[in-house]
Chains A and B, each alone.
Chain A
């Protein structure tokens, strides 16, 4: 690799690493981030949440701590992508691929947020790498690594079972009767046993699938799903989406296990809801065909393309006070409401042990409010607490009393009824 290429790739990787540290505490915590941070969910397996709880037990219950876990997984993904690439292509191409992954906007964004998708993306990629190594070498250490990587993926989030399950199916299709003697096959099968028992004994998982199945989850309304998905991808990836489309033929260089992971990463947003932006984390695996294609281009063209991709990344996910355009990701336009106002609201509620929250109360409310929170939408007035927090102007008619605080559509009302 010539010096200009090396310098450019090093610069992109360095900037990609630095971007993962930028604006960590700017967005307020989202409901899914808090659900993960608080360590309980009816629909998720426990490891991803447990990792966040462990970090908090050591470093404290702060936004920087829980999002710091994601930064670590996001950074660890880069050498992993390099290692995975080396299973297919030479060192130079692998470095180009790693540079693309480092600059990949959706992976940068979700390296800064506490969604479990960043942990899952890492675990899936590790599982894939171990699968390829185990099949190639039949080495004991890779077989053991495959088992634990696959188990970890299933335990980070329930949907983590998708990759091992589809690798099992793929092996059966590939090897047919020879599957029975395939060590990697049985390793993956055994790795799915714990999550199978977990699903059976945690009915919340099936209940969540039933609750959202047919509308949010599923394939109904295919055109609207596809439109929504493409719109999300365009807004979060920009030129990277163009690069994905142009370099799709380069997927031929790679084997079916990588295709499986890329298909999972691409379709999971379609099936489970494009509105869940965090599924775009998994699109970082497209850095492999993008990088493989770029490696074959003339150096000048490749360099222009890499600079353009890096520029796109900076525009979408660069430091929020650096360059404000309409491309800037919506979470990084301004500081989150609750980050700005939680302290003031808690000052009003400081003598309260319990409050009622009216409106669409996401789990983030339990993080930001210090008193215990009752879900008011399932209650009727008068509410069993002295204070009610209203999330949105539409809740105004549901409680009578004195408004003690109001900001940005959130109001704190001291109820006018007797509560004891």
Chain B
């Protein structure tokens, strides 16, 4: 078994995982059940604005009083244009 090569490949796999690993902190609030329950409702609010959810990525989650507030980055993409991104916050009563 090629131990040195496998060690290098393990290092490579962790390096290739970095873009995902750095996202972990923003999803830590999902450990809480009320955040998981609120997330679909927050996305329904985005839908009610007529937005395409594929153009939306989650930026942060925070609590404001009794509300759980999701901040999203919305960036519309068409054939020839990627629009400027905008932050949208949707708050759900917990």
Contacts and interface: CB of A to CB of B under 8 A. Distances in A.
Is B truly associated with A? Answer: yes
A378 B50 contact: yes
B70 to A, nearest CB: 12
Contact of A186 (B6, B30, B78, B79): B6
Main SS class of interface, A: helix
A203 B61 CA distance: 14
Contact of A197 (B17, B55, B76): B17
Nearest to A376: B50
A151 B5 contact: no
Contacts of B76: 372
B9 A190 contact: yes
Nearest to B24: A201
A39 B78 CA distance: 10
Interface residues of A, number: 45
A191 B17 CA distance: 10
A419 to B, nearest CB: 13
Of listed A37, A42, A138, A375, residue having the most chain B CB within 10 A: A375
Contact of A201 (B12, B23, B39, B77): B23
B94 to A, nearest CB: 19
Contacts of A193: 10, 13-14, 16-17
Contacts of A367: 78-79
B9 A144 contact: yes
A197 B48 CA distance: 31
Contact of A366 (B9, B10, B77): B77
Interface string A354-391: 00100000010011111011111011000010000000
A181 interface: yes
A215 interface: no
Interface in A167-183: 181-183
B9 A370 contact: no
B54 interface: yes
B50 A379 contact: yes
Interface of A: 35, 37-42, 61, 138, 140, 143-144, 147, 151, 181-183, 186-187, 190-191, 193-194, 196-198, 200-203, 356, 363, 366-370, 372-376, 378-379, 384
14 contacts: A39-B77, A61-B80, A144-B5, A183-B5, A186-B9, A191-B9, A193-B16, A201-B23, A201-B24, A201-B27, A366-B79, A374-B49, A374-B51, A375-B47
Interface of B: 1-2, 5-6, 9-10, 12-14, 16-17, 20-21, 23-24, 27, 30, 39, 47-55, 76-80, 83
